[in-house]
Copies of this chain bind each other. A is one copy, B any other.
Amino acid sequence: MAAGQQKTRTTRIQARNREAILTAALEVFSTFGFRGSTLDQIAEVAGLSKPNMLYYFGSKDAIHAELLAGLLDTWLDPLRALDPEGDPVAEIIAYVHRKLEISRLYPRESRLFANEILQGAPRIMAALAGELKELVDEKAAVLKLWADAGRIAPLPPHHLIFSIWALTQHYADFDVQVRAVLGEGHDPFAEADAFLDTLFRKLLAP
C-alpha cells in the first residue's frame, strides 16, 4: 500500500465521477435530446460543478459520444444471440422476451436511441447502414430459411424484425403514454410480455 499508489491513477474518485457524469448525462440526453440538453443540467444531476465535469470529458459532444458508443452493442446483443440451429419459434419468441426485458431495464438507453433516430441519426447513421444492417441481413437470411422450410409462417424477414423492435421499444419510449392510457393498477411490461408472446406465436405459426 505504502509505495503502491501510482501518480497517474486516482482511479477510485475518477471512476466514480465518470460514472456519475455518464449516468446523469444519460438521464438528461435521453429526455431532451442532444441539443435540448445543457451541461448545467447534467452537472447538477451528477452533483459536480460544470468545470469539474469538463475536466473529465472535454466537451458536451464527448459525453454524448461516449454514451452512444456503448449503446449499439447493447442493442444488438439480443439479436446476435438468435441461434440458427435452435427451434425457430422458440428462438424468435426468446428474442422478443429479451428485447422487451431490455426495454424494461434500460428505458433511458432506449429513449436515447430513439432521440438519435428521430433527429435523423446524425451521429450513428454509419453504424446503422454498416454494423446494424449487416447483422439484420444475416439474421433475416436465417428467418427466410426457416420460412422456406415451412417451420415458420412465410413473412418478410426484415419487417418481422422491425415489428419486434417497434412493439418492444414502444413500451420504453412511449411509457408515459402507455401508463396514461392504461390508468392505475397496471403493470405495462408484465402485460406486454404476455401479449407479445401470444402475438408472435400466432403470427409465426406456419
Chain A residues close to B by CB (< 8 Å) = 31-37, 111, 114-115, 117-121, 125, 128-129, 132-133, 136, 153, 155-156, 158-160, 162-163, 165-167, 169-171, 173-174, 176-178, 180-183, 191-192, 194-195, 198-199, 202-203, 205
Contacts and interface: CB of A to CB of B under 8 A. Distances in A.
Q: How many copies does the complex hold?
A: 2
Contact of A133 (B117, B136, B180, B198): B180
The 4 A-B residue pairs with the shortest CB-CB distance, nearest first, are A35-B36, A166-B170, A36-B36, A128-B180
Contacts of A180: 121, 125, 128-129, 132-133
Given A118-B173, A170-B165, A183-B133, A191 B32 contact: no
Contacts of A129: 180-181, 183
A189 B156 CA distance: 13
A164 B31 CA distance: 24
A192 B156 CA distance: 9
A181 B35 contact: no
A166 B163 CA distance: 8
A31 B128 contact: no
Contact of A34 (B36, B120, B159, B173): B36
A32 B33 contact: yes
A165 B181 CA distance: 13
A13 to B, nearest CB: 32
B177 A117 contact: yes
A50 to B, nearest CB: 18
A176 B120 contact: yes
A29 to B, nearest CB: 11
Contacts of A191: 156, 159
A158 to B, nearest CB: 6
Nearest to A198: B155
Nearest to A160: B195
Contacts of A117: 173-174, 176-177
B114 A118 contact: yes
A167 B162 CA distance: 8
